Structure 1
Amino acid sequence: MNEQKEPLQALIVAVPETAGSALYGMVDVLAAAGNLWQQLAGGEQTHPIRPRIVSITRTPFSCGNRVPVTPDLSLDDDPAADIVILPELWLAPDDDFKNRYPELFEWIRKRYRAGSAIYSACSGSIMLAATGLLDAKEATSHWGYEDLFRTHYPKVKFRPEPNLCFADASGRIVTAGGTTSWHDLAIHIIARHCSPGEALRIAKVYLLKWHGEGQLPYASLVRQQSHADSVVRKCEDWLAAHYKDRNAVAKVVAFAEIPERSLKRRFKIATGTTLIGHVQNLRVEEAKRHLETDSAAFEQIAAELGYENLAFFRRLFKRSTGLTPGAYRRMFRPFADVARATEAADVALPDSASA
């Protein structure tokens, strides 16, 4: 019988802002590597990764949604780690997190200098950005935090589209995208530190899906920005009602009653998006709604949105969402079908069953 190697030490950082589902989901999945599939299907069981929770102190606390946490280790223990994981945080889209836990940020920097691999999931990358380790590097997070990175962490090369983003060629800093991207991150960690075969087995056991399509299909292209430019806000409100109009950009310039160049400059500064880009985003969002909820042909949708050049709008849609219109409909239409089936079932229930 082969002698089992010492397990890799994986420390998962928890603070009161941490999302409990991501924290304990990561603990469960990493602890299952090497043994859960083997229990179910047969084979020699191993425990290649030892996940533990580390926090500021060992004092128990509640994290997001009052999920109880009892840390295994504290920063005072100065624990060594092969792997450090920063899971999702419950943070507002404008919460930069910079000044909350300076001693934790220093510990993360120390672990990186000592050779640990650093991984973050979703908004955990905001904690990682606060350490400075992402400066001048590519990183991702939930698409809803793109403006936060643009405002508070301009040195980070934020990318909203991938499910995983590698900060450098060594792969020692990896950030994962939206909320359940910790699934993708766990698969990556097991594939890299155990084996691709074991990652596949864990994915099968837990029914984990690799989000190869990235985040773009899930992202909202139109988000309310916080800014103080009343003219731009007035134009945003006008476009929300008139984005389908032909020559919408020329019309909103006339509505604004300021020079076109000035409006375009002020719009980009206030929102981070060009004026024409905002109009296109509004139209793509409307196209997405149709594809999700009805059976209209894409040609009909494009015409309704003012596009005579179908090929152009098809390219724009794919660039914006990462999917062709047909693939997008196949991905999201089932949600509407489930909702309709549920509503029909509710209607069919007798009064006594629904009481």
Structure 2
Amino acid sequence: MPIRPLRVSILSLPESGTMAAFGLHEVLGDTGTNEAALSRGMQPTLVASRSGTYRTGTGLQVTPDGGLGDADVVIVCDIHLGRDETPEGRWQSEIEWVRRHVEHGALVCSTCSGSVLLAEAGLLDGAEAASHWTMADLFRDRYPSVKFRPERILCDSGRNGQLITTGGASSWQDLALYLIGRFCGAEEAARVARLFLLGDRGHGQLPFASMARPRQHSDAVIAKIQAWLVDHYATPNPVSAMVARSGLAERSFKRRFSAATGYSPVEYVQALRIEEAKQMLETEDKAIEEIAAAVGYEDPTFFRRLFKRRAGVTPAQYRQRTRIRGLR
């Protein structure tokens, strides 16, 4: 008896884009079609809580294949919210549908910022989770019990492998290969990877991330220090200089700075310096030692270690990657 295809429901929301949903539908739908292979196939279905065609936030029209029925695998696609929009009160029927599948033992996954829906459902509490790096502020403020992993492309988010989250807009490709390998075998995953030219992003998404936008606040003293740092991030002993300019006691300054920005003073300076270093690596031919000195680090070895910790790759690797992407 042939094994029935795996039922995969790809959830698309009005707040979702179409790249992941359509890409997953096409790639997963190709599994099991190779006559030489005896692998299990997949039956992807684009689902939504509403019927009929609707327009996404990107302006494209989507016509779901069906409603929120039963599935072996559920995939929540990326979610795009405006600056002043919050997840609060959204997706109630979709959240109940996802929870029901978790309770019944289905595999539940998310691509990119789709993990926000899983976090809103309370499914990621106490677990590690990947998402797009721009979601760091939202996870920090709204889901503090979730261990946000911005460097991850694919993350086991608990329940013995029943929850899988991914990070980055193109991470749906990694999820597709993971699912094919898990359910259809490594040979089929390799065939699909060759067919669709799905590549490796072993360094994660940190090389593509920029400094998270500091939260809005009303602390005038801290705002003044932030404005000063824009042109003085390379100042020697910057935290001491910041404290002196603020007129506050060091302990009070550090407490107020962290409360206002979400960063400790030293983390904030490091983030500014690494962002400037990225710009220089992308646009200039200076030696890495010169760039380190220009952003405030006399010790190039320390600079390289810090850069790799924050960007996921060495300065040399970052320069090479950006030039390959055509930025030079």
Q: What SS class does the counterpart of residue 74 from structure 2 fall into?
A: strand
Q: Please list, as runs of the form range in 1=range in 2, the aligned pairs for 1:234-249 lying within 5 A after superposition.
A: 234-249=224-239
User: What is the aligned counterpart of 2:314 among 318, 321, 324?
Assistant: 324
Partners of 2:248 and 2:184 lie apart in 1 by: 61
Q: Is the 8 Å Cα contact of residues 39 and 185 (structure 2) preserved in structure 1?
A: no
Q: Residue by residue, what CA displacement relative to the aligned partner does 1:208-237 show, whole Å, maximum 9, x if unpaired? A: 122110111111125242222222211111
Is the contact made by 1:18 and 1:88 (CA closer than 8 Å) also made in structure 2?
Answer: yes
In the TM superposition, what is the alpha-carbon distance from 1:44 to its structure 2 partner? 4.9
The corresponding residue for 1:73 is 66
- Alpha-carbon shift at residue 251 of structure 1 (Å): 1.5
Rounded Cα–Cα distance in structure 1 between residues aligned with 2:152 and 2:115: 14
| 2:104 paired residue number | 114
Cα deviation 1:133-159 (Å, max 9, x = unaligned): 111111011110101011111121111
Aligned pairs for 1:147-158 within 5 A: 147-158=137-148
CA distance in 2, matches of 1:222, 1:149: 12
Aligned to 1:130: 120
Tell me what 2:22 maps to: 24
Instruction: Give the partner amino acid of 2:162.
Output: R
Cα offsets for 1:65-120 (capped at 9, x unmatched): 23222222223xxx221100001122235643131121221111001101110000
Contact 2:282 2:327 in 1 (8 A): no
Take 2:302 and 2:159, find their aligned partners in 1: how far apart are those partners?
35
1 CA distance for matches of 2:188 and 2:244? 61
Partner of 1:7: 5
Aligned pair partner of 2:160 in 164, 170, 182: 170
For 2:28, the aligned partner's letter is L
Pick the aligned partner of 1:214 from 176, 189, 204.
204
For residue 325 of structure 1, report the CA deviation from its aligned partner. Answer: 1.4
1:263 counterpart = 2:253: yes
**Alignment CA distance shift 1:151-1:112 (3 Å):** same
Write the distance in 2 (CA, Å) between the matches of 1:194 and 1:261: 57
Residue type matched to 2:7 in 1?
Q
Q: Distance in 1 between matches of 2:172 and 2:110?
A: 8
Match of 2:36 in 1: 43
What is the Cα deviation at residue 60 of structure 1?
2.2
After superposition, the Cα gap between the structure-2 partners of 1:64 and 1:193, relative to the gap in structure 1 and judged at 3 Å, is farther
Q: CA deviation at 1:188?
A: 0.9
Q: Secondary structure at the match of 1:141?
A: coil
* Selected match of 2:176 from 174, 183, 186: 186
2:301 maps to which residue?
311
Q: Is the contact between residue 118 and residue 124 of structure 2 (CA under 8 Å) also seen in structure 1? A: yes
Structure-1 residue corresponding to 2:88: 98
Is structure 2 residue 57 aligned with structure 1 residue 64?
yes
Distance, in Å, in 2 between the alignment partners of 1:265 and 1:288 is 29
- Counterpart position of 1:344: none
Identity %: 43
**Would the alpha carbon gap of residues 135 and 64 (structure 1) be closer, same or farther in structure 2, given more than 3 Å must change?**
same
8 Å Cα contact 1:232-1:270 kept in structure 2:
yes
Amino acid in the other structure paired with 2:53: P
Larger proportion of helix:
1
Q: What is the one-letter code of the residue matched to 1:164? A: L
CA contact 1:12–1:23 (8 Å) conserved in 2: yes
- Unaligned stretches of 5+ in structure 2? none
Q: Which SS does the other structure have where 2:58 is aligned? A: helix
Q: Which stretches in structure 1 are left out of the alignment for 5+ residues? A: 341-355
Say which one has the larger Rg: 1
Aligned with residue 218 of structure 2, among 218, 228, 234? 228
Contact in 2 for aligned 1:95/1:148 (Cα 8 Å): no
Aligned residues: 328
Contact 1:138 1:158 in 2 (8 A): yes
Say whether 1:291 aligns with 2:258. no
Q: Which amino acid aligns with 1:296?
A: K
| Residues in 1 aligned to 2:192 and 2:101: alpha-carbon distance in whole angstroms | 27
Distance 1:142 1:157 in 2: 14
The verdict on how the C-alpha distance between 1:15 and 1:305 changes in structure 2, with shifts beyond 3 A counting, is closer
Q: Note closer, same or farther for the CA distance 1:169–1:132 as it changes in structure 2 (3 Å cut).
A: closer
Deviations 1:164-219 (CA, angstroms, capped at 9, x unpaired)? 11112621101000111111111111111111221122121111122110111111
